[in-house]
Amino acid sequence: MQIAVLGGGLTGLTAAYHLSGKEHDVTLLEGNESLGGLASGYKEPGWGWYLERTYHHIFSNDRDILSLAEEVGFGGFAFKEPVTAALYEVNPTNNYRTFSVDTPQDFLSFPLLSYPEKIRAGMVVAFLKLSPFLSLYEKRTAEKFLRTSMGDRVWEVLWEELFRKKFGKHAENILASFIWARIKKRTKSLGYPEGGFQEFINFVAEKNKARGVVIKTKTTIERVDKGGGGFLVEGAFFDVVISTLPTPIFLSVFGGELPAPYIKQLSEIKYLNAVNLILETDQPFFEKEYWVNMCDKKAPMMVLVQHTNFIDKKHYNNHHVLYCANYVEKEHPLWSMNGQGVLQYHLPYIQKITKNTQPIIKARVFRAPFAQPLFDREFPSRMPHFETPIKNLFIANLDMTYPYDRGTNYAVKLGKDVAGLV
Ligand SMILES: Cc1cc2nc3c(=O)[nH]c(=O)nc-3n(C[C@H](O)[C@H](O)[C@H](O)COP(=O)(O)OP(=O)(O)OC[C@H]3O[C@@H](n4cnc5c(N)ncnc54)[C@H](O)[C@@H]3O)c2cc1C
């Protein structure tokens, strides 16, 4: 069969890889110049490794991506235990501190909660780690679940700000499933591919080409029509189409062909957009922390990620790299601000909390639309499934990782699973 895979992120690349193994004629069409979508990376002159446009790592239990790496012969995912922490303003005179709350020992020494509060919270975390997915998690919001199980104060100190920073005005509507999945999946050990995620993506792309997949980049699909018992994509005929495009783009590409109730169902899914500022400096802003959640209400960002406390700076011309990340609605000023504006929006705060005013060697801003689907109360009834109302048209995209938050591991799983249906 002639199969078109729309989108060259990890879902599309994995789907194409498995389909080509079944002796189909597979063409993968990607709008951007490079492959990899949300996990793609870039190289500055003098860098040996790629850097992701948005911070990336995998967990040690991300079996699907590790199996694909093994299957294609990519040997290089290395695992480490970098320091992850949360930042608080510990007194009203701009005195900021980071606390690691990763291990039971760290958590027991966390000074902002009492021992009974910490023990209760620790027991709930242990329960969630062991618990299978329960329908209860879809009947409660995360806030209600955490307030009831861990107590109001633990919610306010540990969770409230994280939810507000990640989901904005939607924070109180996010399902408890989200917190179950986050706790269930999280491992202290984090993995990173040698050369960066783009190196792995390029490796998978080369394996695809070796298996006969035709990869066309710089090919933005605007419209697909049904015709001749199949589909017309960019003037060519295909028996089967697999769309890995974000759902709103899928709807605009196939809108003319889909039934109205299905369009309504999918168009009601809500998303946030990612804005990432990347700073290159001579010195790190954080001495040891890789990941710092912003639990200070006044912080203008959700998280700071000192990538070079995880991956050696020698790969980036001996520059340190800091990500500064937010999820925003399209109406938020950050979404349309120019690069200088994004820098000025964040930098004074970073300098204040780290007491470091070193020069910035380079600042870059990356934006990704539809980067975070909102797992709110309505989401389970709206999310797409592989099969669509149109025969031989399939969807596989990051809305479908629920209850797990999107991730490269699930992209690989979705790609494999959707290929198995054809
Ligand atoms: C801020 C952020 C941090 C993340 N951190 C991690 C992490 O630490 N670990 C992890 O595992 N995952 C992480 N992820 C998630 C991970 O990047 C994604 O789950 C995964 O890359 C999704 O792959 P995909 O192929 O499904 O989608 P995408 O990567 O979005 O691929 C879709 C592709 O379709 C293309 N496209 C769109 N429209 C068109 C069109 N009209 N025509 C042709 N092509 C089109 C896009 O250019 C893109 O390449 C993060 C994501 C974000 C946003």
All structural domains of the chain with their residue ranges: 2-50+195-269+376-420, 103-185
Say if strands 393-395 and 83-91 run parallel, antiparallel, or are unpaired.
unpaired
The span from the CA of 64 to the CA of 411, in Å, is 9
Sheet strand arrangement including 236-238: 224-227, 230-233, 236-238
53 neighbors 40 (Cβ within 8 angstroms): yes
**pLDDT score recorded for residue 420:** 97
Q: Ligand 1 pocket: which residues have CB below 6 Å?
A: 6-12, 29-32, 37-39, 54-58, 220-221, 244-245, 249, 274, 325, 368, 371, 397-398, 406-409, 411
- Indicate which atom in ligand 1 lies nearest the CA of residue 220: 42
**pLDDT score recorded for residue 23:** 80
**pLDDT score recorded for residue 76:** 85
- Indicate which atom in ligand 1 lies nearest the CA of residue 253: 41
The span from the CA of 343 to the CA of 416, in Å, is 39
**pLDDT score recorded for residue 256:** 83
Tokens 């509507």, located at residue: 173
- H helices of 83-196, in order, are 104-108, 115-130, 142-150, 152-154, 160-167, 176-185
Strand partners, 367: 275
Peptide bond into 45 cis (omega under 30): no
**pLDDT score recorded for residue 190:** 97
**pLDDT score recorded for residue 90:** 87
- H helices of 113-155, in order, are 115-130, 142-150, 152-154
**pLDDT score recorded for residue 250:** 98
**pLDDT score recorded for residue 214:** 98
Identity of residue 190 = L
**pLDDT score recorded for residue 367:** 97
Q: Whose CA is nearest to atom 38 of ligand 1?
A: 245
Q: Whose CA is nearest to atom 19 of ligand 1?
A: 407
Of 95, 96, 118, nearest to 108 by C-alpha is: 118
- Indicate which atom in ligand 1 lies nearest the CA of residue 56: 8
**The two three-digit tokens of residue 167, written as one number:** 């989901």
Strand partners, 293: 86, 303
Q: In the chain, which residues have pLDDT < 70?
A: 94
CATH of domain 103-185: 1.10.3110
Pocket test for ligand 1, best of 38, 51, 61, 186 (most atoms within 8 A of CB): 38
**pLDDT score recorded for residue 14:** 98
* 408 CA from centroid of ligand 1 (Å): 8
Pick the CATH number of 2-50+195-269+376-420 from 3.40.50.300, 3.50.50.60, 3.30.420.40, 3.40.190.10: 3.50.50.60
**pLDDT score recorded for residue 75:** 85
Strand partners, 238: 231
